Each structure stands twice: as C-alpha cells, then as structure tokens.
Amino acid sequence: MVKNVGLELNIDGLPSLARFKKVGSRMAISMEQPVLLSINLCNLKFFNEIYGPALGDDLINYMVRYFCFDNDNCELGTRSYVDHLLLLCEGHGESRLKLSDQYELFLNRFLDNVNQKYPRARIHLDCGMYIIQPGDDFLAAQDNARYARRSIHNSFTNTIAFYEKNLREDSLAKASVIPNFERALENGDIMVLLQPKCSAKTGKIIGAEALSRFRDEEGNVISPELYVPILENASVVSQLDFEVLCQVIDFQRRWLNEGKKIVPVSVNLSRIDFLETGYIEMVDNFITASGVPKEMIEFELTETAVVENLNEIVEELNFLRDKGYRIAMDDFGSGFNSLYVLGKIPANVIKFDRGFVLHSIQNQVGMTILSNLVDTFKEINFEVLCEGVETEEEKEKIVSCGCDIIQGYLYDRPLEIEEFEKKYM
C-alpha cells in the first residue's frame, strides 16, 4: 500500500511524478530490495470508444486503487500518464523468477476482473520491472523499467518483462530511426519491394504488396518492425506512405505505357494518414491524375490503425471505396477486436495473420474454426488471404479451409522492382 509520506497528492490520491522521483530516490536507499514497476494499460482508447469516457475514468481509478493502495508491497506510486503507473515496491529479497510469478498472478487477477465486467473491449497490461541496485541513479532506474515494458508492448503473449542491458541499446537504435529516415527520404533512398500474392488454387500471381525499406548510416537495412511504430509516434509516417505510393504509381504507369498487363498492388495506410487533414483526398487526386486504374490500387490497414478513431477512419475508407479502390484488413486474428472492427469498415479483403493461421492448423478443432471463419467471410463477399505461408503442408491445410489467396515465402520473398518485373511481368 502506498505510504503516507507527507506528499501533496493529486486527485487520484497519488503524488505527482516530480514528487515521486524526489521522494522515491530517498525511500529506495532504505528498502531491502527496491523494485520499480512500469505498468501500462493497453486498449484504453478502444475501451472509451465502446463504453464511454466515464467508465474509462472508473477503470483508471480501479487500476490506481488495485496496484497502489491494495498492493501490500507498494511503497510509492504515481500516474505518469493517463494509463501508465510507476510503482516503487518492496521485493523482500525474492528472485526475479519469484517476483515475476508473483506479479503475473497479480496482473492477471486485475485483467480477469476487468474483462469479466467489460467483455466487449479486451484490456491488456504491459509491465516492465527493474530491481534497483546500490548506487543506481533513480531516474535511470525508472528508464530501465520503461525499457523493459516497451520491449513487450502490445505483445499479448507476454505481460511482464525484466530489464536487460540490450534493451537500452535497442532504445538508442530506435532514437536513430528518425534521422536515418529523413536522410533516406531526402536522398531518394527509400526502397520499395514487392511480394507476390498468388491464387491458392492455381499458384499464379494475382497481385503484390508494396513494402518499404531504408538503411542506417552503416548501410544496414532497418527492420520495419522497428521503424514503423516510431514513425507513427512521430507523426511522420505519412511521408513514408506517400513515397511508397508514388513509386508504386510510377512503375505501374510505366508498365501500362509498355503495354504490360499490370496486377493490383497494395500499399499500407497508417492511422496517421487518416487523421491528417486532406491527406486521403490528396492521395485520390494523385492517383486520378496518374491515369492508373483505381482498381489496381489496394489500401491495407490493420485493426490497430482503426480502433482509436473508428468513426473518422470509416468515413475516409467509404470515400476510398466509393472512388473504386480496394480495401484490405491486415493482420486479422492478431488482436482482440477484429470482429467488431470488421463489422464497421468497408473492406474487400481479409488478411489472416500468420500466427493465427499457424495456430489454427495445428489440430482439427483449429482447422474447423478457420474453415468456418473463411466460409463466413466469403458468404458476405470478402476475399480471404493467408499471409506468411512457408511450406507445402501449410498451403495444403489452408487451401482445404477455403482460402482464396496466399502470400509468403513458399511462393516468393519481397523482391526489388527490377527482379519482380523479370520474374512476373
């Protein structure tokens, strides 16, 4: 339980972040085993969309009470953001494994309580832990707990992570993403690769997905899993998305001029694209002026891109659909709210996440579920694509479930434009 240490308290009964830093650094010195926890409540915006801000405030109040005041080991706590807690707890000399097991039970009990009461918005927690060592700077220790939490952000399979030294190095690598991106954009060094999409029945190419890449100062290709979230958080991902679209339109227009038969190419759209005033209309005007048929462009987005501003994004998607573009919902099965979102957005294609597909084809029960999902989507005129297919065995099982389109290394890896032209045009 948070101790009364004579602090000025915020409305939630916790000290401010500044007071937490000042008093916590003194308290940690006298504790047997001071442990810092960084806890983030995921999906709050979607929760507010479903249940309303008033119940969202109730949820935050319950989170504060549960982790700070009903937690016997909590010496001090603060709410650094709306949905983020920092806790200073007594570890009593326990091992990392024992502490991890102890808090995993504690977190899961909170999640069970919330998700039973509010089943339509599945809440998830990320928790980073760091055991403060003698001589540690208290601010650096807080950063270590945050590094640990961010390493499993939106993982859904991991709830708790302890700090490791490589996490700080990863954080520094992330800090270099924006300068590397700006340099690549300015110098025309954003690469666009194409990964074929093939018919599940014939194996023939029926489309492609455009994927971006750029390099760091040493010439190493940076993983999109690293740079995409960073560019989104910095609100500059629209520059990347438009650069990819420009390159796609350029080579499609060239193919048309050369008399080649072109295939639809999908490009990714971020949540930021929809929230930037006039961006979607600008994209439509650009494609219209190019002369490339609009049915040759497919826009892909994930459910996580949609849920936070659902109504505004659906309005923009309807605009694109009415203009003749195709819409694909990516990563189906990777989150908790897919069916709710699918009932709202005007999609043509459902892309099943590789992890979801692999899990489903492990046994007959999973195969039956997958097959029934595919049948349901096809009945309401969705095309179904399974991504990440790598083996013939996976393909055979997926085809038996009725999947229309396959994308993955079984057919081909992402290719540079010239190589794609030689193989498929």
pLDDT, tens only, 330-342: 888 776 555 667 7
Whether 348 and 256 share a structural domain: yes
Distance CA 383, CA 377 (A): 7
Whether 168 and 182 share a structural domain: no
Domain assignment present for residue 307? The answer is: yes
Distance CA 271, CA 309 (A): 8
Pairing of strands 205-213, 383-387: unpaired
Number of domains in the chain: 2
Query: Which residues, including other chains, have CB under 8 Å from residue 97's CB and lie 6 or more apart?
Result: none
Per-residue pLDDT, 6: 45
Lowest mean pLDDT segment, chosen from 3-7, 15-19, 155-159 = 3-7
Average pLDDT, the chain: 88
Per-residue pLDDT, 7: 44
**What mean pLDDT comes out for the span 245-269?**
94
Whether 259 and 222 share a structural domain: yes
Helix (H, G, I), strand (E, B) or coil at 12: coil
Handedness of CA 374, 376, 379, 384 (dihedral sign): negative
Domain assignment present for residue 85? The answer is: yes
Pick from 173, 191, 210: which residue ends a domain?
Answer: 173
Q: What is the CATH number of the domain that holds 61?
A: 3.30.70.270
pLDDT, tens only, 279-337: 999 999 999 999 999 999 999 987 667 766 778 888 999 999 999 999 998 888 776 55
Pick from 145, 173, 201: which residue ends a domain?
Answer: 173
Distance of CA 27 to the CA centre of its chain: 37
Per-residue pLDDT, 257: 94
pLDDT, tens only, 162-173: 887 766 666 666
Whether 271 and 310 share a structural domain: yes
**What mean pLDDT comes out for the span 232-253?**
93
